[in-house]
Structure 1
Amino acid sequence: MNHALAQAVRLAPVVEKVHGAHHPELTRVRELTQALADTTDDARIDGYYAELRAVTDNYTVPEDACEGFTSHYRALQESEQFWQNR
């Protein structure tokens, strides 16, 4: 697992707990983040990143996001870039 994905996995449950009431999509973001960490199937990984882009509006950070939320989306985006450039 690359460093950015490991960071995203650590942040996902925290961000969901803090912001989930106002951002229900974070439950799916957490699930997809964990799924990325748990699979080695290239087709599934591509699909997970595609769904993450859709659910997060291409990793757009909402205006009410804290530093952890911002870091989480940044880590997901960096993880996807790492995946694409491997």
Structure 2
Amino acid sequence: MMIKEFFAKNDEMLDLYTQAITKAHGAHHPEVFEVRKVYEDIQKKVKSGQEDLTADFSKLRDLTANYAIPADACGAMTKTYQTLEEFDHLVQG
């Protein structure tokens, strides 16, 4: 699957979930605010035709400890991290 196809298929969910997890988990996991910001940057880049997202996903790996799902994560946070990790693998080729 191509980056643009993956983005088109998952953007609506990732946009909603990255925002939702800031409200649900922000107090105990402040990194989710940065995850949201990085995802917004990814959205802007893909929508403007850029496909070099290497730096963005490197930052996400650092923020999330390689997409480690916290013990207190809800379904939305779990799905967000899993989908971002899948997107990351696609970007890395």
Identify the TM-score tier after normalising by the shorter chain.
0.7 to 0.9
The TM-score normalised by the length of structure 1 is 0.87
One-letter amino acid matched to 2:30: P
Q: 1:23-59 deviations in whole A, cap 9, x for unaligned?
A: 10110000001111111151xx111100100000000
SS in structure 2 opposite 1:13? helix
Selected match of 2:83 from 75, 81, 84: 75
5 Å-filtered alignment, 1:13-32, equals 13-32=19-38
Higher relative contact order (CA 8 A, sep 6+): 1
**Structure 2: runs of 5 or more not aligned:** none
SS in structure 2 opposite 1:83? helix
The CA deviation at 1:22 is 0.7
Q: 2: CA distance between counterparts of 1:82 and 1:8?
A: 16
Percent of aligned positions with the same letter in both sequences?
A: 30
CA RMSD of aligned residues (A): 1.3
The TM-score normalised by the length of structure 2 is 0.81
**Structure 1: runs of 5 or more not aligned:** none
The CA deviation at 1:84 is 2.4
The runs of at least 4 consecutive aligned structure 1 residues that moved more than 3 Å come to none
Question: Across the two proteins, how many residue pairs are aligned to each other?
Answer: 82
SS in structure 2 opposite 1:53? helix
